[in-house]
């Protein structure tokens, strides 16, 4: 039995180990990381999948951004599933859960950088991102968008910037 639930602080070491295994430490050099570094994930949008023993086997988080003229949006990623649990629908379940929660929380538009061959099944397409600029090198074919509210990307252009809660501020509040 697998449970998808909000990420908790004690998930962090296992989450980081899973992400290192999935993407390697070079993940920190990705342009997407610029939009995440020093920020907290969007409120209520960090999820862990855990097996019956409580072992973390999947992770997905979303981050507040400004998508140029489209305004407030969220950046999805990284998404990863433990290699021993892949191919059983957990990636799809994490995506469905994360997107449903993002919509419920009022987000209208989601961006990510990833394989279109995987993410197109959730409705992501290159079509929404054509006039948006990523803040660094990105393969255009991997820069994908999904409208949670129809028309959210209409006429969208301009630079993607980070707008999430800053980590230091969060520490002071806690």
Ligand X SMILES: CC(C)(COP(=O)(O)OP(=O)(O)OC[C@H]1O[C@@H](n2cnc3c(N)ncnc32)[C@H](O)[C@@H]1OP(=O)(O)O)[C@@H](O)C(=O)NCCC(=O)NCCS
In the complex, least distance from residue 17 CB atom to ligand X, rounded to whole angstroms: 13
Token pair of 142 as six digits: 């991997």
For 138, the 3-state DSSP assignment is: coil
Q: Which residue has the tokens 């969208």?
A: 156
**By C-alpha distance, which of 78, 109, 83 is closest to 94?**
78
Instruction: Verify binding: residue 145, ligand X, rule CB under 6 A.
Output: no
Instruction: Verify binding: residue 127, ligand X, rule CB under 6 A.
Output: no
- Of 81-89, 96-104, 143-151, 166-174, the window that binds ligand X (rule: CB under 6 A) is 81-89
> CA-CA distance, 37 to 166, in Å (whole number)?
9
Q: Which residue has the tokens 């820069």?
A: 143
Instruction: Verify binding: residue 92, ligand X, rule CB under 6 A.
Output: yes
Measured from the CB atom, is 98 or 108 closer to ligand X? 98
Token pair of 103 as six digits: 């919509």
Instruction: Verify binding: residue 115, ligand X, rule CB under 6 A.
Output: yes
Instruction: Verify binding: residue 123, ligand X, rule CB under 6 A.
Output: no
> CA-CA distance, 174 to 158, in Å (whole number)?
34
Closest CB to ligand X: residue number: 91
Instruction: Verify binding: residue 16, ligand X, rule CB under 6 A.
Output: no
- Binding footprint of ligand X on the chain (CB under 6 A): 22, 77-81, 86-92, 114-115, 117-118
């Amino acid at each position: 039995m697998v449970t998808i639930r909000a990420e908790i602080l004690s998930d962090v070491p296992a989450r980081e180990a899973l992400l290192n295994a999935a993407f390697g430490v070079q993940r920190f050099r990705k342009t997407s990381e610029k939009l995440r570094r020093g920020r907290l994930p969007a409120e209520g949008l960090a999820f862990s999948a855990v097996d019956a023993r409580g072992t973390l086997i999947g992770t997905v988080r979303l981050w507040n951004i400004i998508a140029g003229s489209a305004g407030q949006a969220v950046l999805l990623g990284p998404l990863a599933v433990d290699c021993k649990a892949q191919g059983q629908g957990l990636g799809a379940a994490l995506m469905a859960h994360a997107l449903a929660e993002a919509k419920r929380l009022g987000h209208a538009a989601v961006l990510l950088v990833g394989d279109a061959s995987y993410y197109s099944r959730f409705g992501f397409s290159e079509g929404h991102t054509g006039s948006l600029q990523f803040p660094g090198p990105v393969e255009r074919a991997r820069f994908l968008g999904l409208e949670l509210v129809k028309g959210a990307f209409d006429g969208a252009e301009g630079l993607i910037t980070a707008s999430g809660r800053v980590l230091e501020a969060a520490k002071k509040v806690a």
